[in-house]
A and B are shown apart, each in its own frame.
Chain A
Amino acid sequence: MAEAVIFWVCAAGAVATGVAVFRVDSMARATFALLASFVFAATPLLLLGLSYLGVLVILMMIMEMVVMAIFMIMLMMNPAGLMPMSMVHNRRGSLAIAVGTFVVLGAGVLLVDWPQRAGTPPEDVTFALGEALMGSHMLVMLVIGLGLFATIVSAVVLAHPRGRYDRFGDDLRGRPADDPIRGGVGR
């Protein structure tokens, strides 16, 4: 009973703060509304016994939203919400598509004959996850690792202000680099 109450409070909170992300007047407030939505949505995971994944989502989202708040204040107009802010296009069309998606998928959720529960959770679900990632699901772990590494490299390359062509010019054998401050080994 208590679990059901917590679930519905968290579900309502997650959706309400999710809506608030696109309704508040300040970018910083939108970021923290999104953080609240993530924390509300991660609490049901804890109710299901997924303590590791639930805490992981909460901790990761706190870090992510703090980083996002910095970007918000750095890049976006009106970070403090001192004036009304509305940056939308095709609001009606988007709303219609979103409501339509909710109605169709919601009807599917209620009408589909979902399979019966097979088996019971293991005693230590986190151990089972770790064992799967290091054993039968090793490929998933490899792909995740490679993907994260590729993301680090690509993000640095994209965000760097002076790329390869700024430093060496169009000629692939162009040396030395045209840097404002010379340095490095033998440059």
Chain B
Amino acid sequence: MTLQAFLLLAVALLAVGLYGALSQQSIVMIMMGLELMVNAVIVAGAAFWFFVSPAQPDGQVVVLVAVTLMAVEMAMGFAVAIAIFRSGEIDMTDMAAELRD
């Protein structure tokens, strides 16, 4: 196991999540893509902590912040999904085009 191996895993997860976030139409599927991208940050943060400065807890703190970010993203994402679904039965991004004009 090396830093490069961990970072390659993180990059692969980031790329998969980016594909999902860009290509999916369903709001919840986009959130799944975003979660995969945050997961990449978790892997990279832990790897940097262990392979670069294990004596300092900074890398662990980054991981904790990323985990919290994931929870916040999901809670707010679902709240917005519920609100937008209530207002106009919208569950796909292409249908939410009120601000286009």
> Which of A4, A117, A151 contacts B54, CB < 8 Å?
A117
Task: Please classify how large the interface on chain A is, using the bins under 10, 10 to 19, 20 to 34, 35 or more.
Answer: 35 or more
B residues engaging A (CB < 8 A)?
1, 3-9, 11-20, 22-26, 28-29, 32-33, 35-36, 39, 42-43, 46-47, 49-58, 60-61, 63-65, 67-68, 70-72, 74-76, 78-83, 85-86, 91-92, 94
Q: Does A48 sit at the interface, judged by CB under 8 A? A: yes
Q: Is the CB of B20 within 8 A of A119?
A: no
| Cross-interface CB contact of B14 among A34, A53, A101, A155, cutoff 8 Å | A101
A60 touching B71 in the complex, CB below 8 Å, given contacts A22-B29, A44-B43, A71-B28: yes
Point out the residue from A7, A53, A76, A155 that lies within 8 Å of B75, measured CB to CB.
Answer: A155
Q: Is the CB of A22 within 8 A of B72?
A: no
On chain A, the residues within 8 Å of B64 by CB distance are: 53, 129, 133, 140, 144
Determine the main DSSP class of B at the interface with A.
Answer: helix
CB contact between B52 and one of A19, A97, A115, A154 (< 8 Å): that residue: A115
Q: In angstroms, how far is the closest chain A Cβ from the Cβ of B4? A: 5
A118 touches B4 (CB 8 A): no
Question: Chain A interface (Cβ within 8 Å of chain B)?
Answer: 3-4, 7-8, 11, 14-15, 18-19, 21-22, 27, 30-31, 34, 37-38, 41-42, 44-45, 47-50, 53, 56-57, 60, 64, 67-68, 71-72, 75-77, 87-91, 93-95, 97-99, 101-102, 105-106, 109-110, 114-115, 117-122, 125, 128-129, 131-133, 137, 140, 144, 147-148, 151-152, 154-156, 158-159, 161
